[in-house]
Structure 1
Amino acid sequence: MNLRDLEADLQYSDYYQLLFISLTVGLGSILRVHTIGFDSFWLDEAITMYFIHTMSYQEIITELPKVQPHLPLYYILLKAWTSISGTEEGTVRMLSAAFSIASIPVLYALGKRLYGFQVAAIAALMLTVSPFQIYFAQEARMYSLLAFLTVASYYCLLRYLTSKQTKEMALFIISAILLAYTHVFGFFVITSQLLYLFWGEWIGTENWRSCIREAGRIAIPVGIGAAPAVGMIAAKVFIPHSYGSGSQVQHIPAPPNWHDIISAYTHFTVRYSHPPMSIAVQVGLLIGIGGALFVPSHFLSRKKSVFLWSWLLIPTGLAVVLSYLIQPIFFPKYLIGCSVALYLLFARGAAFIPRPNVRTVLLAIILLNAVALNSFQFTDHQKREFESAAKFVDQGYSPDDLIIVDKRKSSSPFGYYFDRAGMPTAGDITGPLRPEIRKQVRSVDTVWVVFSSSKQPHRRKVLRVVRRTHDRAAIKHFAGITAYRFVEDPKHPVRQKTQL
């Protein structure tokens, strides 16, 4: 296949292009709305709802960054959204779904502007069916907004670089500032964009004063607009006791190794590592990306290649470096904005492979794995069923009962669904049972114990203490949760001693 044939293959009528993107957006909407209210809120979502219910708009801006490692834009939008739609699980998550759906046509427009219809179509299709994207489109967190603003800001940047118009520059500045107020990793994306902008100006003029002047037209207003967000994060990290805590990503135990980084890129397509599927997807991605080697370099354009590779690698590299220098922050979902660059790189390589049968096989590998994993996501609980556990306790609960929840990871979402004034305990028992709770166990007739993420040795320790004075009356298993009901046993010597 020569270059002329390749260019001819990329010509499609506007009608078919419009039909394709309409069907793709429709499919993406169905996949993101389907079963969106199937699971109850889990820990992070319950925390989100706690802030939405208890904070005003002003407090979200000024106080929320002190207690969360995230920034306020999504919370402001969600508070406004819930004031209209209500607080049911499905309606709350619909805001995230809307941002994820909106990312599809923007990515398509970006891919088409870069490499034409085929690349745009493949990239949009990967975004549409990706289990990784669909999962976070159905979660009441800021990740789908982070992905949308990343794609939108890169699209605005590309339009500005093409036209150099003030209007396009203003759109990019606005999208970049909004990105800065969405998530810490938004700073990494902005850094990648500004570095690419400076590099593009440098190879165009090779005059450092001109480069600084042109790049400064964008970097200065973006820096001024994002300065408060930068200040919040910098104070949180480097001055731990002046503006919240400096270590709020304790769920990330260690800096990433090479396996973690490669697995993160696989996550962008399959979300979780399933050995047969993951290996097939990794091979498919490598072959697809390597397909660009079959195309003349002047057709791909060095600027376009750097545009995509810097988008993928610079935010990832910054996350890795900071994980080693300051504290571990590398986590696949935080890099959701980079996942779009991977889709574009794969689409570019796959579309330009000269053999149609190879292209078909690669697309089949990716899409069939996505279909299989989406089927699993739609039919199995992906989050812990705190609502069902709360209903189970509610059926037999009385105000004199004691409720023990094993960890804060459980007590926050459990408390969201089991909201009773005067509930004796929604315990935070991360070590041995605290003495005051031991006393409470001995002084009440009925004890409820709810386990979620605790390990077996801790569970046995808690149950051993409760069983000293109570007998198990009921046990119920839910998705990721086990709930017990214990009633007093007057024959226990400890219980008799307490009554005396």
Structure 2
Amino acid sequence: MSSNVNHAANFGNHRVHRRHLDFGAVARPIALTRIPVPVLIAVAMLAVGLAGITRPGMWADELATWAAVRLTWPDLFQLLGNTDAVNGGYYLLLKPWTAVAGTSELALRLPATVATVASAALVTMIGQRLGGLRWAIPAGIIFVLLPVVSRYAQEARAYALVVALSLLAGWLLIRSAESGRHPWFIGYAAAVTALGAFHLMGLLLLAGHAVMIVALGGSWRRWLLAVAAAILALTPLMIIGTHQIGQTDWIEPISVAGIARLPTVLFGSHTVAILVLALAAVSILRHRDRLTVALLSWAVAPTIGLLLVAQVSDLWFPRYLLFTMPAWVLLAARAFSSPTWRPRVHGVVLVLILGVVAGAGTLAHLDVRSTSGHGHDTRAVAAVITEHARPGDALVVNLAEPVVPWEARDLVAAYVPVHAQPDDVFALTEQRENGRFLATETSDADVLRTVDRVWVIRFENPPDVLSDLGGSKESRLRADFTVTEHWQLRGLSVALLTRHR
């Protein structure tokens, strides 16, 4: 079967047959069993994804998931309607799952692991579809080896699902360009709709697909119809999202430093990022054809789109572009796809390069599986409070905390045993009550008049744990209490204050 993608394998117009792209002669010595390569890669990804999955403590975003799925259905819908609609698709997926599996770290993170396993298979399938096993095998292995893949395979948030859906959309786009038939475009429209439902920023992928469909010689008119259908389906969510723009108020204005962080965020390690991007550069220079244009547009166009958006609204956050990472992986893997290499030479080079990638990412893999591997050592904070708690202790948090003002209360609820939890004396309502994301508090600092010891939990590590605590809380604590112990941990700090004697 010939196809537009086969035309794209060479930038010229001569036809390249599918049997040549599959490298059938090479497949036999590489495949030791009859199990399809995507399945083997998926099994490897499952093993890597499950390794150490419960060791890191849940950080702020995961705690938000933990708390949301524990709400009743009416309370969850009220929350989504008021403040958190952009995460609604993910919560609606997890709530029935957790009703069966529970809300342990394993249960909450397992859907992300499954999504990442699907992503590994899809990366391999795309590589095999475009260039045979010499492309597919390194693509799958590089994907599995990336520290960032392990990080989000073990995260109770939607990012792993967004990557999986972006890959599914990419695979369906390639198939639709090959055949031009309606069913592939219908599937593509459904995948894009699901992608937007899990994360609206994922729709930036369409900037890359606009170039891809032309580069692959597909029907851009049918593609536009599929995109229009997806956008129409997502319009209500977009409208609600515009009224909840406060959810992104914590994002800092775009800066050179923020842009420079992108490679490390995409690959999970600065060294690994250099290696993968270097391989991608070799591939781009070696294969200056339509497939390169297609994959490069997938990798770069969404980034340009977010850069442009960030000029008018503070939305530059590198993690939003994780779905571009597979395109870089496919470009890097194509450096191994030369049909002129003998199988033995190809195997030796592949093992050496992938060994270097694995070695470069070892420390990052160990880090993401540590107790503080998700950036905030919530378990350590809880352990400190549990060990030193006394009856009558009080908890004080900062509702104006930058980025994650909900985390302190959530980590206490999730990780500190009930008998050791300090009294939340300022809280008038619980978090996520009546559709409000944060608790409401009294402004009357007299609630501390009968308290002798206070626990203060802060985001990151301010030298002065009481700085910018807010209002009468700070003034009363400074006047009546002394910081007797201060633990500075990864991403968080916790202090014990005692009343002056």
Fold shared per TM-score above 0.5: yes
Contact 1:415 1:426 (8 Å CA) reproduced: no
Which of 340, 349, 360 is 1:369 aligned to? 360
- Deviation, 1:375, is 2.3
2:119 match: 103
Residues 54-106 of structure 1: CA distance to partner in whole angstroms, max 9, x if unpaired? 252x7656751641372421111111110110011121111111111111111
1:421 and 1:196 map into 2 onto residues whose CA distance is 56
- Deviation, 1:345, is 0.8
Give the structure with the larger helix fraction: 1
Contact 1:156 1:169 (8 Å CA) reproduced: yes
For 1:309-328, what aligned pairs fall within 5 Å after superposition?
A: 309-325=296-312, 327-328=313-314
Report the secondary structure of 1:39's partner residue: coil
1:487 and 1:12 map into 2 onto residues whose CA distance is 70
1:486 and 1:359 map into 2 onto residues whose CA distance is 57
Report the secondary structure of 2:369's partner residue: helix
Unmatched segments (≥5 aa) in structure 2: 1-15, 431-440
Range with bigger deviation, 401-410 or 347-356: 347-356
1:449 and 1:366 map into 2 onto residues whose CA distance is 42
1:194 and 1:222 map into 2 onto residues whose CA distance is 14
Residue 27 of structure 2 is aligned to residue 12 of structure 1: yes
2:413 match: 416
Query: What TM-score results when the alignment is normalised by the length of structure 2?
Result: 0.78
2:362 and 2:353 map into 1 onto residues whose CA distance is 14
Which of 224, 233, 237 is 1:229 aligned to? 237
2:360 and 2:406 map into 1 onto residues whose CA distance is 31
- Deviation, 1:211, is 5.2
Distance 1:450 1:223, change over 3 A: closer
Report the secondary structure of 2:143's partner residue: helix
Residue 321 of structure 2 is aligned to residue 335 of structure 1: yes
Which of 213, 220, 227 is 1:219 aligned to? 227
2:494 match: 483
1:40 match: 57
1:282 and 1:421 map into 2 onto residues whose CA distance is 47
Contact 2:116 2:149 (8 Å CA) reproduced: yes
1:240 match: none
Which of 155, 175, 193 is 1:159 aligned to? 175
Residue 289 of structure 2 is aligned to residue 289 of structure 1: no
1:170 and 1:472 map into 2 onto residues whose CA distance is 62
2:62 and 2:110 map into 1 onto residues whose CA distance is 13
Distance 1:286 1:160, change over 3 A: same
Which of 261, 277, 292 is 1:305 aligned to? 292
Residue 254 of structure 2 is aligned to residue 255 of structure 1: yes
- Deviation, 1:442, is 4.5
Name the aligned partner's letter for residue 281 of structure 2.
Answer: I
Distance 1:331 1:361, change over 3 A: farther
Report the secondary structure of 2:248's partner residue: coil
1:453 and 1:394 map into 2 onto residues whose CA distance is 20
2:210 and 2:396 map into 1 onto residues whose CA distance is 51
1:46 and 1:403 map into 2 onto residues whose CA distance is 18
1:112 match: 128
Distance 1:437 1:389, change over 3 A: farther
Name the aligned partner's letter for residue 455 of structure 2.
Answer: W
Residue 445 of structure 2 is aligned to residue 453 of structure 1: no
Residues 95-122 of structure 1: CA distance to partner in whole angstroms, max 9, x if unpaired? 1111111111111111100111121111
Distance 1:346 1:396, change over 3 A: closer
Query: What TM-score results when the alignment is normalised by the length of structure 1?
Result: 0.78
- Deviation, 1:171, is 1.6
2:387 and 2:130 map into 1 onto residues whose CA distance is 59
Distance 1:65 1:345, change over 3 A: farther
Give the aligned CA root-mean-square deviation in angstroms. Answer: 3.6
Report the secondary structure of 1:40's partner residue: coil
2:76 and 2:207 map into 1 onto residues whose CA distance is 26
Report the secondary structure of 1:157's partner residue: helix
2:476 and 2:75 map into 1 onto residues whose CA distance is 41
Contact 2:85 2:240 (8 Å CA) reproduced: no
1:341 and 1:440 map into 2 onto residues whose CA distance is 55
Distance 1:43 1:143, change over 3 A: same
2:335 and 2:34 map into 1 onto residues whose CA distance is 20
2:365 and 2:326 map into 1 onto residues whose CA distance is 18
- Deviation, 1:440, is 3.9
Name the aligned partner's letter for residue 354 of structure 2.
Answer: L
Name the aligned partner's letter for residue 367 of structure 1.
Answer: A
Distance 1:437 1:229, change over 3 A: same
Range with bigger deviation, 328-337 or 247-256: 247-256
- Deviation, 1:338, is 0.6
- Deviation, 1:227, is 2.2
Contact 1:323 1:330 (8 Å CA) reproduced: yes
2:436 match: none
1:140 match: 156
Report the secondary structure of 1:450's partner residue: strand
Contact 1:40 1:387 (8 Å CA) reproduced: yes
2:13 match: none
Residue 388 of structure 2 is aligned to residue 389 of structure 1: no
Name the aligned partner's letter for residue 247 of structure 2.
Answer: Q
Give the number of aligned pairs: 452
Contact 2:22 2:133 (8 Å CA) reproduced: no
Report the secondary structure of 1:382's partner residue: coil
1:381 and 1:95 map into 2 onto residues whose CA distance is 21
Which of 338, 347, 362 is 2:333 aligned to? 347
- Deviation, 1:22, is 4.1
1:71 and 1:486 map into 2 onto residues whose CA distance is 37
- Deviation, 1:335, is 0.9
Report the secondary structure of 2:35's partner residue: helix
For 1:119-138, what aligned pairs fall within 5 Å after superposition?
A: 119-138=135-154
Contact 1:385 1:478 (8 Å CA) reproduced: yes
1:498 match: none
For 1:71-110, what aligned pairs fall within 5 Å after superposition?
A: 71-110=87-126
Distance 1:477 1:221, change over 3 A: closer
